[in-house]
Structure 1
Amino acid sequence: MSAATAQLVRRQGYQSQNTSSGSIIDYWGFAVRVFPCANDPGTCEYFDAVYGGHEVGILYTGILWATIGGILLIWAIGRHFWGRRRASETVTHEYPAVETSPKVSSGGISRIARALSATRRAYFLPESLRFIFGRTTRLQLTVLAILTGYLAIWSFAGITYKSWITPVKGYDNLFQKRSSLGPWSDRIGVLAYAMTPLSVMLASRESILSQLTGIPYQSFNFLHRWLGYIIFVQSVLHTIGWTVIEVNYYQPQPQVAEKWIKQLYMIWGCVAMILIFILFLLATPWGIRLTGYEFFRKSHYVLAMVYIGACWGHWQPLKVFMVPGLAIWLFDRLARATRSALIHYQYLSDGSMGFQTASAVVTTFPDSKHGDVVRLDYPFAQSPWDIGQHFYLCFTKASIWQSHPFTPLSFPVEKNGTVTHSYIFRAKAGETKKIANMADAHPAKTDNDPLTTPVVMQGPYGENLVEHLTPDVNVLCIAGGTGITYVLPIVHWLVQQPLSLNRKITLLWAVRRAHDVDWVRRELSAILAMVSTNLLEIMIHVTREDEDERLALPRKNEKEASDHISPASSSRSLGGALNTFNSGKPDLAHAVEDFVSGTVCGRTTVFASGPGSMISDLRAAVAKQNSGARVWKGDARFDVELKCDDRLEW
């Protein structure tokens, strides 16, 4: 008998049977069994239930992963063969200049698909149970409910539910209880192990799930978090179940309990339970607020990998689920480092090749009440990214251990071998606040000698937002504050496309003060200079402007530092298309309804980035405008899609 086999027999020591009295039967992922059973009939029947339940449980985990794999395979194939048209695949002149009817003709399959999509958004786009799940759509909750129900079924199916009272060898009139609690506790433990690779996969930035489905990796964060909670509950129930068995059901006590808890596999089990309990506490909203997001993120990486190692030590036969979890995590970290290495491997000033950081020019827009806004601009030798993609930026003067996701404000076009990166962000705390403080301490001396800081990039990540914006798609862009970085490149791209008179394009931007327009003045000016017709409407809502506060607020590192901007002067300086400055927060429901009703034909895509409350309102507003019945009848205007910046959930 091998050492591993002997160890597994000892771990199943309650068989109370000498291994020399029978043969050893291996069970995949479980302790070996001595057969034939030489114990009393009740104990032998119990072992039949234990091992039979385990075999069925392993089969169910196979079915579970086959289901997941099948869904992903079908999704990937369908996305490849029946995906939406790309903007590059359309011919602009095929669309008439004037549409006499809002109805559009389309193929039966296409119309069914659009009608189903509109129906799905109408019912599943709004948020529900926010007090428990936060700002989460009904679709995400439905997927979570399906997964939870699926796991619940496999947790209870195929188990013999019965109790056995059996004698204890060597003791007169001493009996122990054996019940279905044992195979049930094993089952949920196996399922917790089986879900570990999926949990790691859902958290990966270099996500194979995104490659197969086209869904951005950050959209899986909700499922990752709640699947982690499910695994925690499974672990707790598994631990409670076996504690009751070993401390209460088995006899004599406390001898059985003391022998059980001292075994190596149980020591590792206790370590794993402590680690997942800490992971659970730190991953709650209260834990993140208490310790800070960066501490949570770094500790989560370390604790999760040590937890996987402890699970391996607790039950080595199921390492088949732990190895993929570790492999996925290691691949993700290696791919991230490789991305940074490739993008920063540049020609150095001495002509050699090496790692070269980007040198970003820092411009600040002070705001003592809500946090300074910082703008970074720098050219870098690389290929253009897709509009809508983002980069992780590491500010090496602040910390080399942290990076934050930012969407480039600049339009990705290569000039003389370089692409210009521009970012704006509000510096409230942490690393971004350090950049603002650095600008305060060392302001730019002159325009020719600006303040700079080294930046290391990782990316790009995310989806191409304009890939499916065919000329028949109307576009409504809504931004709040620095969320303008997400939508402005889309508008920039749209105004460069061939003329489509039926397309409606509107940008709605809510800012606290009128002079916040200065953040993106050069980009807005460039866009307005390209617009020769009234196809683009820009509406800016000033939500918290206070005249005395506005006049007292200086700006620095800007040429117009002595100027003070009013809505009227901003409108005149940027061009005639920017003629709508409104006071107060916009009514998003009315804005979406008014936009959709004002379109001539075609579907609508709403792009949005801003505070969580704004996104919640937009989800409800867009859902209200969707109607599968009207789309089925040919009115494509009621096919309204919403694309949000999911960085808000990171």
Structure 2
Amino acid sequence: MSKRHIQDFSQDSQLEYHWGYASRQVPCVNDVGACEYLDAVYHEHDLGMLYTFILWAVICGLLFLFLLGRTLFPLTRSSTPSTTTDTKELFEKPRPQSALYRLRTSIKSLSRRHLLPETFLPSIFGHTTRLQVLTLTIIIAYLTVFTFVGITYKTWMSPVKDMPGVYNTRTGLGPWSDRIGVMAFALTPLAIFLSSRESLLSLITGIPYHHFIFLHRWLGYIIYIQSTLHTVGWTIIEGKLYQPQPSAWNEWVKQTYIIWGIVAMILLSVMVALSTPYGIRLTGYEAFRKLHYILAMVYIGACWGHWAQLYCWMIASLIVWFLDRGIRLMRTLTMHHFNTPNTSHSFGMHTPHAKMHLFHRAHDGDIVRLDLQHNHDEWEIGQHFFLTFPALSIWQSHPMTPASVPGGNPRGQNHTYIIRARKGMTRQLADLAQTIDSTPLVLNGPYGQSIVNTDFYRTDDTNVFCVAGGTGVTFVLPVLLTLTTRPRRGLVEFVWVVRRQDDMAWIEGELDSLKKAAARVSNFRIRIYVTRGVHDAGASSAPPPVSSEDPLSKEAEAMVASQTPSSLSTPSLSTSPPPELDESSTFTIHAPSSSASLSRGNTQHPDLGAQVAEFVARTVAGPTRVIASGPLGMIRDLRSAVARCNDPARVWRGEERFDVALVHDDRLEF
């Protein structure tokens, strides 16, 4: 066995086992200072291992409590539901609420009010909420405390054998450097957990996997800082404090485990550099993803080679990574083989063909609408799929939310996607749509969580405010189509911000269904804001043909028509809507007021904060939910507006309409 920590295992002595470290020679045969130093090193390493196990015990315990709370204490008003059928009575006399329900909703409202707005340092943390930053702060505080706790801050001087007057200086820097390296190893499986698309964390907490990407990225930065400090600490020890030099350094740096440590540090540095916004722009997002996967796996192998005694953390990391990729592959095979008719007599992948319709926009970027039918299990509204276009590339996939409602076709599921052509694959797709009218498509999913069958819509008096910017309408459209086919007492409002009035042709059939639903009831209205003008010069935006076999629009119209106005409408409310350009108060289009507004640089955007506040003021009973998808600026404004509308004191008194929650589509895939 090679020498470790000034121990000579060639001598006749016993070995004392320590988890995750080199065994210790007992009794100690070195000088007094060296033996005291070894006592401190091994004791503090054992403490470090204990702290990593405590860290994981805390994480697992919190997840267990979260799961237990969701299972045993669902968010319900009371054990005895209201039996009245009079709509007016329901709004004048709110449904009974238990004390536990009011306490939980008040706490949630309080947390949204203070933690939902974006952090005050977007240049550092990006467009994320205070809750995410608070969680990161707690993790950093825990790691900082347990990195320094239990370290012996002392200096020992040990004479160098056969070199009179030459001493090795041993300090608490050695065990501290080991401690921070152990922490970095223990955090590696957690970092991979947070990046997994097949997320166990999402199954337990109900939080969509992409909401963990922020913590994944910052945990990677923390691991990099820990690894750097570990490297710097031992470089100082071996290159300065240990004597004689340079022979002590030369003997140390040529060892195999040190070489693997240097390789791991180089790989980690490259990963961090490529994960910055500049690095992603330099390589392109898809190249960044593939490099990130490869470098991460080689990095894990290098860490194993550097310190094999802690291989348990590396094995856990590899298991999580391969399970995630394996389950992804199985889901794709299941969707394209086992759920396809007549697969008992055929083999291979069965890919559907999507009909493409191109909306050419000369100045604002082309739009491609995809419509397809495929036989597979229903997804939940709010979930998304990853789309791969074999005609373009089998190595790229993009997350897309269906604009259609699942379960409407007995022969299979109807998928509709509205895609803006930017760069890369989406631009190639738009170019392809100019030459052919259909293309094969590979689906992987669904991913994410339901936004309908959750606490958001426990009752039919929930007030729903849907906001979309441009192609973000795909996220809110299925919600609206579902809500308008059910008897509801809560208010429903749809605000869509588009650049040109011609953009409404993207969803012409679905929008007609919503307009008819809004014309029949008094608690649903649609407002469309045009920010740049009516037409895009040189653009072609003919609507796609609506198939007579597509049951989506017909089903929505039939279900809405069969419901009486009294079952859907709310009591008369005093409102002051903005000036209208359309003939109906339930459907309005707000266009720029002057020809100067038609220019590309002059835009007129609605005040979404005021829109949310006005909607909450119009509600009478029931909680308020805001569903949104759009640019980062829109989401930032909505976060602040929703936070201001939350009033925990009034929620505790039973005024549920001030329990305002926001869900939005903010996927960023690694």
Q: Is the TM-score greater than 0.5?
A: yes
Instruction: Please tell me whether the aligned partners of residues 216 and 462 of structure 1 are also in contact (alpha carbons under 8 angstroms).
Output: yes
Instruction: Please tell me whether the aligned partners of residues 368 and 419 of structure 2 are also in contact (alpha carbons under 8 angstroms).
Output: yes
Structure-2-length-normalised TM-score? 0.89
Encode CA deviations 1:23-80: one digit per residue, 9 max, x unaligned: 1111110011111111110010000010010011111111111011100000011011
Give the counterpart of 1:250 among 215, 238, 242: 242
Partner residue, 2:624:
604
Encode CA deviations 1:323-353: one digit per residue, 9 max, x unaligned: 0100000000000010110000024699635
Helix, strand or coil: the match of 1:136?
coil
Alignment of 1:517 onto 2:504: yes
Equivalent-residue separation in structure 2 for 1:266 and 1:622 (angstroms): 53
The alpha carbon displacement at 1:98 in A equals 4.3
Alignment of 1:538 onto 2:538: no
Alignment of 1:635 onto 2:665: no
Partner residue, 1:454:
440
Partner residue, 1:626:
646
Instruction: Please tell me whether the aligned partners of residues 348 and 354 of structure 1 are also in contact (alpha carbons under 8 angstroms).
Output: no
Partner residue, 2:514:
527
The alpha carbon displacement at 1:569 in A equals 13
Helix, strand or coil: the match of 1:14?
coil
Equivalent-residue separation in structure 2 for 1:167 and 1:393 (angstroms): 66
Alignment of 1:135 onto 2:127: yes
Instruction: Please tell me whether the aligned partners of residues 390 and 442 of structure 2 are also in contact (alpha carbons under 8 angstroms).
Output: yes
Distance 1:69 1:430, change over 3 A: same
Instruction: Please tell me whether the aligned partners of residues 383 and 414 of structure 1 are also in contact (alpha carbons under 8 angstroms).
Output: no
Q: Residue type of the partner of 2:487?
A: P
Q: Residue type of the partner of 1:425?
A: I
Q: Residue type of the partner of 1:185?
A: S
Encode CA deviations 1:602-625: one digit per residue, 9 max, x unaligned: 110000000001000000000000
Helix, strand or coil: the match of 2:406?
coil
CA RMSD of aligned residues (A): 2.3
Helix, strand or coil: the match of 2:11?
helix
**Worse overlay, 350-359 or 456-465:** 350-359
Equivalent-residue separation in structure 2 for 1:642 and 1:187 (angstroms): 41
Give the counterpart of 1:320 among 283, 305, 312: 312
Distance 1:434 1:348, change over 3 A: farther
Helix, strand or coil: the match of 2:6?
helix
Give the counterpart of 2:470 among 476, 481, 500: 481
Distance 1:589 1:649, change over 3 A: farther
The alpha carbon displacement at 1:425 in A equals 1.0
- 1:208-247, aligned counterparts within 5 Å? 208-247=200-239
Give the counterpart of 1:466 among 445, 452, 458: 452
Encode CA deviations 1:93-130: one digit per residue, 9 max, x unaligned: 65743456486541101000011110000000001111
Give the counterpart of 2:391 among 394, 397, 403: 397
The alpha carbon displacement at 1:288 in A equals 1.1
Alignment of 1:587 onto 2:607: yes
Helix, strand or coil: the match of 2:529?
strand
Instruction: Please tell me whether the aligned partners of residues 347 and 354 of structure 1 are also in contact (alpha carbons under 8 angstroms).
Output: no
Partner residue, 2:26:
35
The alpha carbon displacement at 1:497 in A equals 1.1
Helix, strand or coil: the match of 2:260?
helix
Helix, strand or coil: the match of 1:641?
strand
Equivalent-residue separation in structure 1 for 2:628 and 2:81 (angstroms): 25
- 1:95-106, aligned counterparts within 5 Å? 96-99=87-90, 101=92, 105-106=96-97
The alpha carbon displacement at 1:551 in A equals 5.0
Alignment of 1:189 onto 2:176: no
Equivalent-residue separation in structure 1 for 2:276 and 2:486 (angstroms): 45
Alignment of 1:422 onto 2:416: yes
Helix, strand or coil: the match of 1:289?
helix
Helix, strand or coil: the match of 2:541?
coil
Equivalent-residue separation in structure 1 for 2:44 and 2:68 (angstroms): 36
- 1:328-477, aligned counterparts within 5 Å? 328-345=320-337, 346-347=340-341, 352-440=346-434, 442-443=435-436, 451-468=437-454, 469=457, 470-477=459-466
Partner residue, 1:296:
288
**Worse overlay, 150-159 or 462-471:** 462-471
Which one scores higher on RCO, CA 8 angstroms, separation ≥ 6? 1
Q: Residue type of the partner of 2:25?
A: V
The alpha carbon displacement at 1:290 in A equals 1.8
The alpha carbon displacement at 1:429 in A equals 0.7
Number of matched residues?
Answer: 619
Partner residue, 1:112:
103
The alpha carbon displacement at 1:642 in A equals 0.4
Instruction: Please tell me whether the aligned partners of residues 412 and 420 of structure 1 are also in contact (alpha carbons under 8 angstroms).
Output: yes
Distance 1:90 1:344, change over 3 A: farther
Equivalent-residue separation in structure 2 for 1:178 and 1:351 (angstroms): 73
Q: Residue type of the partner of 2:460?
A: P
Distance 1:304 1:257, change over 3 A: same
Helix, strand or coil: the match of 1:415?
coil
Q: Residue type of the partner of 1:477?
A: C
Encode CA deviations 1:132-187: one digit per residue, 9 max, x unaligned: 10111010000000001001111001111101111001111111100000000000
Q: Residue type of the partner of 1:609?
A: S
**Worse overlay, 577-586 or 283-292:** 577-586
**Worse overlay, 459-468 or 349-358:** 349-358
**Worse overlay, 19-28 or 256-265:** 19-28
Q: Residue type of the partner of 1:176?
A: N
Alignment of 1:83 onto 2:74: yes
Distance 1:228 1:553, change over 3 A: same
Equivalent-residue separation in structure 1 for 2:234 and 2:344 (angstroms): 66
Helix, strand or coil: the match of 1:607?
strand
Give the counterpart of 1:206 among 174, 198, 204: 198
Gap regions ≥5 residues in structure 2: 547-578, 593-603
- 1:48-59, aligned counterparts within 5 Å? 48-59=39-50
Helix, strand or coil: the match of 2:536?
helix
State the identity %: 45
Q: Residue type of the partner of 2:335?
A: I
Equivalent-residue separation in structure 1 for 2:82 and 2:345 (angstroms): 46
Encode CA deviations 1:285-315: one digit per residue, 9 max, x unaligned: 1211221111111111110011001000000
Q: Residue type of the partner of 2:256?
A: L
Gap regions ≥5 residues in structure 1: 1-5, 444-450, 561-567
